[in-house]
Amino acid sequence: MTRMAKGGPPTTTITHVGGPTVLVELDGWRILTDPTFDPAGRRYGFGWGTSSVKQHGPALAPEDVGPVDVILLSHDHHADNLDDLGRSLLPGATTVVTTKSGARRLALPDTRGLTAGETTRLTAPGKPPLTVTATPCRHGPPLSRPVAGDVVGFALAVGDRPGVAVWMTGDTVLNRPLRRIAREMDVDVLVLHLGSVRFRQTGRLRYSMDGRDAVELLALARPRVAVPVHYEGWSHFSESPEHLRGTLAADPGSKSVVRWLEPGIADVL
């Protein structure tokens, strides 16, 4: 996982389904992140009196996604990362990788729970081994973990290739552990969870990164390509998509690597 010179990254195809949900096709592996497929219009509770309305539905239905080998679930306890229709897909995946507490709650076959820094290795006939390493997340301000719960991101490495093929940050604010891991990893494709989540009950406290955080993280990680996701479609996002795009476009380093995906359309990165 340490930084080293890039040596022929694998071909990566990403389809943004909506919200945090992306289909990653990586050297024969079909990987789905944080499955959310419910239609728009419903209000979901997030605990401690907080809630949010889903404003945009997915660009693809579950049956349009097709079979998946792995579901990477940053956390199972918030509906904007795992909703009812998304939950119905979990038993169909060969492997689900999530937090340790989430794995206990889900109690599904071959569900692997990780804490930040832990790694699991996946194998399948005809595919190179896939190494999944959990990366640190703090889904809110300091001391918020008892309220926000456990969350992890995921760094994917393929076979014996050096570096990280895909890093999905998960829902997190920018903090010291995230900065440290960004400096250490050699990242090809970075999937950024943004949106600057806020709730009326907690005022200006933020529970995910905004555009300024993204600029800083991109400068540290130096990916070849960065894909913003999970920044629109819910009422608890406090940064508008227009403001986010403007912030990233105003920074030359960010502008040169950011790729905005059209939902439902596969993009080879």
Q: What is the pLDDT of residue 8?
A: 60
Q: What is the pLDDT of residue 255?
A: 97
DSSP string, 82-126: S-HHHHHHGGGSSEEEEEHHHHHHH--TTEEEE-TT-EEEE--TT
Q: For the segment 14-59, what is each residue's pLDDT rounded down to a tens digit?
A: 999 999 999 999 999 999 999 999 999 999 999 888 999 999 999 9
End-to-end CA distance of the chain: 21
Q: What is the pLDDT of residue 2?
A: 37
Q: What is the pLDDT of residue 145?
A: 82
Nearest by Cα to 70 from 101, 104, 26:
26
Give yes or no for a contact between 198 and 239, defined as CB atoms under 8 angstroms apart.
Answer: no
DSSP state of 200: G
Q: What is the pLDDT of residue 4?
A: 36
Q: Which helix (H) or strand (E) holds 254?
A: helix 252-255
Task: Please tell me the distance from the alpha carbon of residue 22 to that of residue 31, in angstroms, as a whole number.
Answer: 8
**Regions of the chain where pLDDT drops below 50:** 1-7
Nearest by Cα to 207 from 180, 179, 238:
238
Domains of the chain: 12-259 (3.60.15.10)
pTM: 0.95
Q: What is the pLDDT of residue 5?
A: 35
Q: What is the pLDDT of residue 9?
A: 65
